[in-house]
Structure 1
Amino acid sequence: MNVLAPEAELWIVRHGQTEWSREWRHTSFTDLPLTEEGERQAETLRDALASVEFDSVLSSPRIRARRTAELAGFHDVILDEDLAEWDYGDYEGLTTETIRERVPDWTVWTHPCPNGETAAEIGVRLDRVVDLARRPGRTLVFAHGHSLRVLAARWLGLEVEQGRIFDLDTATYSVLSADRGTPVVKRWNVTGW
């Protein structure tokens, strides 16, 4: 990874609620819209983000992330496939509880997703986002729960699996920056609702 520019700042936004996020179902490539509540949540982000100037705004290409960006007031975003959610493979649409009926103690952080993405694979693509965001300026990204938790871990120089320590609710924003060159969490899981 590149050296962190002192004036680099990465703002991350998790998309608003979808039917599956409300039900705790793993959602990667299934392109679900926001629920009415998710749209309301996304709109509350507008005031929090309106007074901040961003040098670049990126979004996962999934409709739930793009729609959150629009409702938060960002219509001209760069779509970046690297921000897509962790590919859960055969576990797409299942809850952790359901998966654990077959694989006790399963978590995405500690076990594989059959026919899905490995921790190493998601780490490689989110390292590319970190490299972009470590340049001077303020970057805003709209994406998903697990991918953003991995992004935070990689920003801080942690292993992908350490993303498990960053709880992240729907329609929240977080800020990653630096303190005298050391990557830090400035704000985490902030909500406007």
Structure 2
Amino acid sequence: MNMKGGVHIWLIRHGETEWSKSGQHTGTTDIPLTDDGRKQAAALAPVLASQTFDLVLTSPMGRAIETCRLAGLGDRAQVEPELHEWNYGIYEGRKTADIRAEVPDWSVWTSPIPEGENLADVGRRAQALIDKLLDTKAMNIALFSHAHFSRVFGAQWATGAPGLGAHLVMDTAAMSVLGFEREVRAIVKWNLVG
């Protein structure tokens, strides 16, 4: 693997949707941005315009693609299937509190996800994408994705332990930057809102 100390990976979460607003797990359902979500996405544009990106990738979900477009990078973006959100299986569209009424102490981070992905699955997907990105010549990369996947990606980048993502909060339309402290992978900035 090519360990390039100058690499910066910008993780950008999509803007607000009705389900992110209500706390429903939104993985495979393609929910559009709300009006506020579109405003949040547009507010990213000035910050991202100050950067020169070698590579812009987006999740295949409409909410990420629209956020990328409104943030001013849609014309350069390529769809990257691995950026899709965690597949919540039978818990898709449900709130944690509702799930816990049936499965006490349930957590996406530690519990089985029937018909979906578990933490190890998402961690492997994040690591495969990290390896792919480090094998490119790109030094400044923008990734438009989702909260849980981005949290796992950040954790996997920094520690190789995807469970650290449970401790990394990521708001809608938030930006985080991953890079290096000398030769060590690091979280440079986390959960910045435009």
Q: Is TM-score (shorter-chain normalized) higher than 0.5? A: yes
Provide the rounded CA distance (Å) in 2 between the counterparts of 1:149 and 1:112. 18
Partner residue of 1:37? 36
Provide the rounded CA distance (Å) in 1 between the counterparts of 2:8 and 2:132. 11
Provide the rounded CA distance (Å) in 1 between the counterparts of 2:187 and 2:48. 17
Letter in 1 for 2:177: V
Provide the rounded CA distance (Å) in 2 between the counterparts of 1:134 and 1:157. 16
Give 1:134 deviation, angstroms. 2.8
Q: For 1:76-87, list aligned pairs within 5 A.
A: 76-87=76-87
Give 1:173 deviation, angstroms. 0.4
SS of the aligned residue for 1:156 comes to helix
Partner residue of 1:118? 118
Identity of aligned residues (%): 41
Partner residue of 1:153? 155
The two structures have a TM-score, normalised by structure 1, of: 0.96
Deviations along 1:92-148, one digit per CA (max 9) or x if unpaired, are 000000010011111110101111112222112111221133355111100000000
Q: For 1:100-179, list aligned pairs within 5 A.
A: 100-135=100-135, 137-179=139-181
- RMSD after superposition: 1.1
Letter in 2 for 1:54: F
Letter in 2 for 1:68: T
Give 1:171 deviation, angstroms. 0.3
Partner residue of 1:181? 183
Give 1:164 deviation, angstroms. 0.4
My pick for the range that moved more, 141-150 or 3-12, is: 3-12
Gaps of 5+ in 1: none
Across the two proteins, how many residue pairs are aligned to each other? Answer: 191
Gaps of 5+ in 2: none
Shift >2 Å, 4+ stretches = 132-136
